[in-house]
Amino acid sequence: MTITKKLAALLSGVVLSAGIFRVVQASPADYAAYFKVDLNEPLPKYADLERKYLVENARYNRRYDYHWDIGNLFDSLFRVTITDYGSTERRLRNEHEQDLLDILSMIPPEYYQYIGPYLHTVPNMPEKVLNMPGIKETKNKFPTRIAPQLADIEDLEFLSPYLYYLLMPEMWPENRRSPERPVMRKAAPKVPYDGDFYARIRELVPADEFVPGAKPEVKTGASDLRTINPDINSPLTSADIKAFARTLPKVREIAPDSPRMARIYNAGSFLDRWEQENGKGLTVNMLKDMVNPCQRLVQKLRMAGMELQLRMAVGGEGFTPESWAYTCDKTIKAYRMGMMRSSTLASLKAFRDGAYNRYLEENLGGRKAALQFQTMQTLVEMYRAPLNDILEARKNRKLLKKEFEAGKYRILGQPVAVLN
C-alpha cells in the first residue's frame, strides 16, 4: 500500500468540525455523551473569551470610515482586491435555480416528459436544470404517455411544448380515481331525561346525605411534597413542577432589556466555540440547548456574570441555580412526552433502532451523515423522561402551557420546543 493510500485510509474516519478534527460516529447513540451537562465544570471568564474571539472575528477593514472620508493614501493591494472581487467567478447561479431544482426533485420522474421539453425552450434556463437526469433526455421529445381523450387527434405531435401538460392522463378528471371516502356514522342519539329515574335515586339516597357544599376529602401523597435537593436523577413531583412554574415570571425579568439579552447570547456563542475547541462540542452546538435548555442557561449566566440574579429569582421557591436547572429540564422533557403524538414516537423509535444509519452512511457519509446523526440523537434526548415524571407533568399541563406561552416558549432565549 502506498503512502498516499495509507494517508487516505487514516483520514477517512475523521471530519473537520469547527476548526478541529473529530472521529466520525457511526450512529446517533454515539453522540449521547455530548448532551450531558456538568454544572460543576469550571468555565472560562467572559472577558477572556471576548478578547480572544472578537479579535479573531473582527470585521474586515474597509480602509476608510465613510465614502466622503476615504483618505489620500493610495493602497495598490486594496485596489486590486476591490476591483477583481467576483470577476473570477465562472458561473453565477440563477436567482430561481435552486427553487426549480427543489420543485423538480419532488415531481415523479414519469412526469418529466411533459415538463422537460418546455424547459428546453425557455430562454436563460439554467444549465444545471436542463442537465438534470430525466430532464436532459426529454429535449425535443414528444410524450409517449398520452391521455385517451387526445390520442386520436391528427398531427398531435405538432402541439406546442407549452401545452404538453394537457397530454397527461391525470389532467383529465374522468381518468382520476376517486378517493375512498370514509363511511359516515350517525351520532348516538341523546339520552332523554327521565324524571322517574332521579326520583327513585332520591328515594334510595336522601338529599341530606349528599352533604351539599362539603369539601372533598383530599389525602396528601408523595406527589404533593417537594423533592429535597433535586438532582438530574431524582423523581419529579407535582409540587416541584408548580414551584418551578412560579419562578418563571421572575426568571424572565433577569434580562428585561436588549443589552442584557445580548450579553447572554454572546456568552452562549463563546461557550459553544470553547466547547468545540476542547472536543466537547457538536457540529451545531446549539442542539444542546434543545435538550437541556435550563442547565445550559445556568452555564451562560455564570459566564455572563449574572448568576446572582438567577439565584435571587429562584431562591424564593427554595431552589438553587443547579436544582432549578435540573427541575426545569426534567419538567420540560416530561411535558414534551405528554404532548407527543404517535408519528413523533414512530420517528424516535426509528432513530433509536438505527433504521436510517446505513442509508445516511452510504448516501451522505462523513460530515453530513454526522450532522444528521447528531440531529436525530437531539430529538431522542429531547423526549427522554421516566414514566413518573410524565404522569406528574400531565397533572399540571394547563399550568405549564400558560407559563410557556407567556414567555413565547422561551426562557431567556432558551428554547422550550415541543414537536407536534
The secondary element (H helix, E strand) that includes residue 410 is strand 410-411
Tell me the sheet residues that pair with 23: 14
pLDDT digits (tens, 9 = 90+) for 127-158: 899 999 999 999 999 999 999 999 889 999 99
Domain extents for the chain?
A: 97-175, 230-415
DSSP string, 113-182: HHHHHHHTTSTT--HHHHTSTTTGGGTT---S---TTTTT-TTGGGS-GGGGGGG-GGGSGGGSPPPPPP
pLDDT (tens digit per residue) in 247-287: 999 999 999 888 899 999 999 999 999 999 998 999 889 99
Q: Which residues pair with 303 in a beta bridge?
A: none
Helix (H, G, I), strand (E, B) or coil at 87: coil
pLDDT (tens digit per residue) in 194-235 = 888 888 888 887 766 666 666 666 778 888 899 999 999 999
pTM of the model: 0.60
Q: Which residue's entry shows cell 412526552?
A: 337
The rounded distance, in Å, linking the Cα atoms of 153 and 147 is: 11
C-alpha cell at 27: 450512529
Q: Helices 321-339 and 238-252, interaxial angle, to 10°?
A: 110
For residue 232, what is its C-alpha cell? 438530574
H or E element in which residue 55 lies: helix 46-56
For 289-342, what is each residue's pLDDT tens digit? 999 999 999 999 999 999 999 999 999 999 999 999 999 999 999 999 998 888
192: DSSP letter:
P
Q: Give backbone dihedrals phi and psi of 141, rounded to 5 degrees, phi first.
A: -110, 140
pLDDT digits (tens, 9 = 90+) for 51-66: 888 766 555 565 555 5
Instruction: Note whether 392 and 226 are within 8 A (CB).
Output: no
What is the distance between the alpha carbons of residues 364 and 226, in angstroms, rounded to a whole number? 48
CA-based end-to-end distance of the chain: 53
Tell me how far the alpha carbon of residue 311 is from its chain's centroid.
Answer: 30
